[in-house]
Structure 1
């Protein structure tokens, strides 16, 4: 009986989520497909203006904090190197989004042992010195990670995730109210959503960013195969890997396999554009 009840609740949850998606979301094509054929249409319930406004506030606060600590763009040679790589990648973004060339791009280097990089919506990029130094990253490898992060912004993955969470949160609250379930059952429905929809979508985002990233790198004249050595180094630094089912990233084996296929697919672009 309890199993049937849980199955019924999960089924109802999906019905409500689907209904909300149809009534409150718009279907958008954020990017052109490129050689790597990333052509999935996305459902958006949050406006790009809202995401851009929130991102701008977060970015301004973060940059101000790093500047006050003296950790923003401390090493001019590192900054010049990272910006040169990023600018070559930015010049290739019209292959996926023609208007992205005119975004207000910014590129910063943050002094921190953290192995990290990110690109906020609208083109605000940061690379941490820990990524450069811990990985001893080559220019090709830096292009791989920066291109990957840029791809998240081009595909508006942050907006898509916010939309999913907004729709799911509304659906779960409505279902909990209608059925009169308690907090424990409501939390169970939230876990069901994350396990069946939330986390797999995050893995999908990572795969899309990987594929677009290798094409951006190839078009900019960087060896797309460097993305494989980059993630191998990332794995060595990270050590143990979380269980795939509960991870927001593809497994290392899946990622390496996919990157091998797609880096080879864009090799003609690299051969055409690489600097002699």
Structure 2
């Protein structure tokens, strides 16, 4: 007998195949359960992650809505500002229109007043001319003067101008006195006094003294009244040189075969006999 025969064996007894199979099945079931549970746990753990991923989408939507709201507010403010500007412009235009209307009414009133004043002066001038003509036609001739002037031509022939005139009265006397008072003053083209004249400026200013408005230039003054013969001149008649309607020079007949005119820059305003520069024709406005 071996010396170890009495020692109890420590080896574990062999398990049977059925026992091992049963234990393997149990272990497999437990592992399957754990796997299912793990999967379920993993699924449950993923839910917060899914919600966290959706948060940026919700935040972006809110940002878009906020931006749209800001744009709408800004547009509304711009619309209000535009309306305010339009209202201000309309108010300004209305105020300007009211001012323009007031100015137009003022100018119209001034124009009406000026037209009435002009009409009054013209009526007074017509009355004055009518009175002067009546005086000339009813007053007996006093101090009739007969004059005869002659000029020689280069051919040796002579021409004569005879005048028979009465002493100036009324408006004609005023015109004669005025032009004689200007004798000695300078001749300046375009001047109408008081220190200088040209020919038509002297005539126009002289007749203005008695309320008669004559055209400014010689051409028009030569047709401003009734054409009269040089043989029947009266003081105050307008003499012209050249053709009626295209005269180049004018003067005033002052009686006694004399005229006053602004001749040229060398002589200025002078009183000369008709023979000094015989006129072409004459018109009477008084």
Task: Settle same-fold status: TM greater than 0.5.
Answer: no
TM-score interval for Structure 1 and Structure 2 normalised by the shorter chain: under 0.3
Greater strand share, 1 or 2?
A: 2
Q: Which has the higher contact order (CA 8 A, sep 6+)?
A: 1
TM-score (norm 2): 0.20
Q: With structure 1 as the length reference, what TM-score do the two structures score? A: 0.21
